[in-house]
Amino acid sequence: MKEFEPIIVAFCCHYCAYAAADLAGSLRLEYPPGIRIVEVPCSGRVEEELILKAFAEGADGVLVAGCLEGDCHFQKGNIRARKRVEHLRQLLKEIGLEPERLAMYHLSSAMGRRFAEIAWEMAEKVAGLGPSPLRRRTREG
């Protein structure tokens, strides 16, 4: 049986994480193949519904990556995003999903290596949890 390769949607802020992912690519750093990067203008732009939608569409994990504390281009978008993610993790539990499938990270545009680390960290964690029950159902159905 092929080893489970989780699909992880990464909502990446244009000003930091997206650039960091780019940098990771230029540095030829390898990151997990299941990562699907979505560029957003700010992590604060990622509404709860959008994250839920990613799960509804079969994502095994979702990561939201925003700027370091104090560095948000829109002042507090990253802080809002973090609170929202915290809140949503509780809701995930109530929905019946492991809250660990959702995480928030902070980094800067210069942290290409860190981005790759985060991606691996998340992929391993989610791989440990197994496929999302929503994905299973999508496939079965």
How far apart are the C-alpha atoms of 132 and 100, rounded to whole Å? 11
Residue identified by tokens 């990270």 is 105
Q: Counting contacts by CB under 8 A, is residue 16 touching other proteins?
A: no
How far apart are the C-alpha atoms of 100 and 141, rounded to whole Å? 25
The interface region with other proteins, picked from 37-45, 95-103, 109-117, 121-129 by CB under 8 A, is 95-103
Q: Which of 7, 8, 40, 97 binds other proteins (CB under 8 A)?
A: 97
Contact 5, 36 (CB under 8 A): no
Q: Counting contacts by CB under 8 A, is residue 95 touching other proteins?
A: yes
CA-atom Rg of the chain in angstroms: 14
Residue identified by tokens 């440990």 is 128
- In whole angstroms, how close is the CB of 74 to other proteins at the nearest point? 14
Contact 114, 20 (CB under 8 A): yes
The interface region with other proteins, picked from 24-32, 59-67, 113-121, 131-139 by CB under 8 A, is 131-139
Give the H/E segment covering residue 133: helix 133-140
Please say which residue, 29 or 91, places its beta carbon nearer to other proteins: 91
Please say which residue, 55 or 115, places its beta carbon nearer to other proteins: 55
- Contact positions toward other proteins, by CB under 8 A? 47-49, 52-53, 55-56, 91, 94-97, 133-134, 137
